[in-house]
Amino acid sequence: MSKFLLTLAYHGAGFCGFQVQKQQRSIQSTMQDAIEQIYGERLPVVGCSRTDAGVHARDYKLTFVTDQSHPCIQLQRIPMALNAALPSDIAVLDAEEVPLDFHVRHDVYEKEYEYLIHDGPIRSPFYTDTVYHYKHRLDAEKLNAAAQAFLGTHDFRGFMAAGSDIGDTVRTVHSVRVFRSNDGLIHIRISANGFLYNMVRIIVGTLLAVAEGRIDSDSLSSVIDSGDRTRAGITVPAHGLYLNRVEFLRKEK
């Protein structure tokens, strides 16, 4: 048997998220369809995270296992073969063979998400479904300074969706950066050892509340420590969010 690790990029607007859902289009089922076309059998696939509907990815990872008796496809040709069977809003960027005991979720050391904001009174039709439109001008330097309160290990139970069934809500944020790129967009980039459901989108909403003066930047540490969801900001829309990078503890074959 062989286990393969795929790197994907996809435009999330047309998907209900990663996980299979009845009568909806998911990343998982779309990849299974393509793999079935290539290998002649519907194989299970395991993803590195359960992304929401509308969230995009530049570096999503998933694995599948195939028996050696299946038709042999050279490793370097797997992306081309799968892309020929995939729709235009998803692509396989890379494929590599990994040990059978490698786990695409449990062996993750760090994930990085990025949220994109177009700030200004006039929305751009070119950013539909890919960038969040915020109508007021933002001070990237001010938000970057405020965002440093999220660094380190905290209990982020106040920064997850209500009703989430998660026992351990402690996460370690390795880095957070807010900056304006040359194209004028605001980028909010956060890396951590893991994320709670909607955690990044609530952090972004909280930073926007700081920009609006509804939360004092000096009180962000208190907001985090309180664990009170009502003290944090809104959950911003999914379409501005990208899974940007995934790093593993090990994956060598």
Residue 70: what pLDDT? 61
Instruction: Let me know if 52 is a catalytic residue.
Output: yes
- Residue range of the domain that includes 130: 110-246
DSSP 231: G
Number of folded domains in the chain?
Answer: 2
Q: Is 253 among the domain residues?
A: no
Check whether residue 155 and residue 177 sit in a common domain: yes
Check whether residue 98 and residue 129 sit in a common domain: no
Check whether residue 96 and residue 157 sit in a common domain: no
Q: Which residues are registered as beta bridge partners of 155?
A: 170
**3-state secondary structure string across 99-157:** CCCCCCCCCEEEEEEEEEEEECCCCCHHHCCCCEEECCCCCHHHHHHHHHHHCEEEECH
Tell me the chain's radius of gyration from C-alpha atoms: 19
Question: Would you tell me how many other CB atoms lie within 10 Å of the CB of residue 55?
Answer: 26
Of 183, 176, 138, 142, which Cα lies nearest the Cα of 159? 176
CATH of the domain at 203: 3.30.70.660
User: Which member of 33, 52, 183, 218 is catalytic?
Assistant: 52
Check whether residue 95 and residue 187 sit in a common domain: no
Cα 201 to Cα 97: distance, rounded to the nearest angstrom: 33
Check whether residue 83 and residue 194 sit in a common domain: no
Residue 72: what pLDDT? 72
Q: What are the structure tokens assigned to 126, written together?
A: 């070119």
Between the alpha carbon of residue 37 and those of residues 4, 30, 62, 94, 95, the distances in Å are: 16, 11, 17, 18, 17
Q: Is the pTM of this model over 0.75?
A: yes
Check whether residue 87 and residue 188 sit in a common domain: no
For the chain, which residues score pLDDT lower than 50? none
Of 16, 73, 6, which Cα lies nearest the Cα of 45? 6
Check whether residue 200 and residue 130 sit in a common domain: yes
Residue 251: what pLDDT? 63
